[in-house]
Amino acid sequence: MKITVIGAGGIGGTLAARLAAAGHAVAVVARAAHLEALQATGLSFVDAAGPDTGVYRVRAVADTASLGPQDAVFLATKAHQLPAILPQVPALLGASTVVIPAINGLPWWYFQGAGGAYEGWCLQSLDPDAGMPALLPWQRIIGCVLHFAAQRGIAGEVQCTAGRRIILGEPDGSDSPRLRSLAMLLETAGFAVERTRDIRRDIWVKLIGNLSFNPVAALTGYRMDQICADEPVLTVIRAALEEGSRVAAHLGIDVGISAEARIDIARELGSARISMLQDLEAGRSLELEPIVGAVIEIAQRAGIDVPASRMLYALARARARALELPQS
């Protein structure tokens, strides 16, 4: 299959390496020194969670103009970078191309095709100009929730440090042929894939964890195992988890998991340095809007009090300003 991965960080690099190892024609959209290294020597992949450590030749480009229609397109940038990235996607679309946003946080398409009182709502925190649905209609999308940890090393190198689980689901809840085909594609590339009829619930199960753990990691510098071992810090985590669950419930989503069970899931990542901490240490902008800001925006419209989430958002923004990180 012809596959393009836009974004060659930890997540995108892991997807690209394993798909290339499975024999597919993989193109990667990257930039700067990382792009140059990929073009010169290939993608060096360290696979702590499987057998695919090696160097893989991928087609590395700065933009999509030369690639043509693809069978599948993975969006593996930071969620707040997508408004700038999506104009590159139409050049990749053929009659049956599927697009898989492999992103953290609440996806911009969440209220597209969902029905209910919020149908068609574009959150300011995700899509300030409300232009993303026109660039990429939700019917092209297969929802995706990732449960593995990865990070970029030196230019041209990516490491997968834990996990291999991916959850896939159609926005309309169907078990479509294209969903089954995509699941098989990723399974043969070494991922543990689950198909779901309720991808929005799975988005919230991960989102409440990101809402709580990611800002705490950025503020404390803790690895995941350190967070889970610090009981006073877990008190803050529990408060944010419970707030996220209440906001999800307002949207008709029962996350079906207690705060303690969600913390146990986090423990499975071991000593991983999760994404917001990685970004802070690398001097990159933080994914606060899709992970925290979007939940606060929904809560405000619904009249739900979320003090712990607001506190984490304010402190993480202040930390980013103090370090003079780029603003998302």
Which residues fall within 8 angstroms of residue 256, CB to CB, at 6 or more apart? 201, 205
Paired tokens of 69 = 């229609």
Q: What is the CA 238 to chain-centroid distance, rounded?
A: 22
For 43-64, give one letter per residue: b (16+ CB within 10 A) or e: bbbbbebbebeeebebbbbeeb
User: Residue 327 and residue 287: Cα distance in Å, rounded?
Assistant: 9
Active site residues: 206
**Could you tell me where the beta strands, DSSP code E, fall in the chain?**
2-6, 25-29, 43-47, 54-56, 59-61, 70-75, 93-101, 143-152, 157-169, 192-195
Bridge partners of 73? Answer: 4, 99
CB atoms within 10 A of CB 236: 19
- The C-alpha atoms of residue 94 and residue 36 are separated, in whole angstroms, by 28
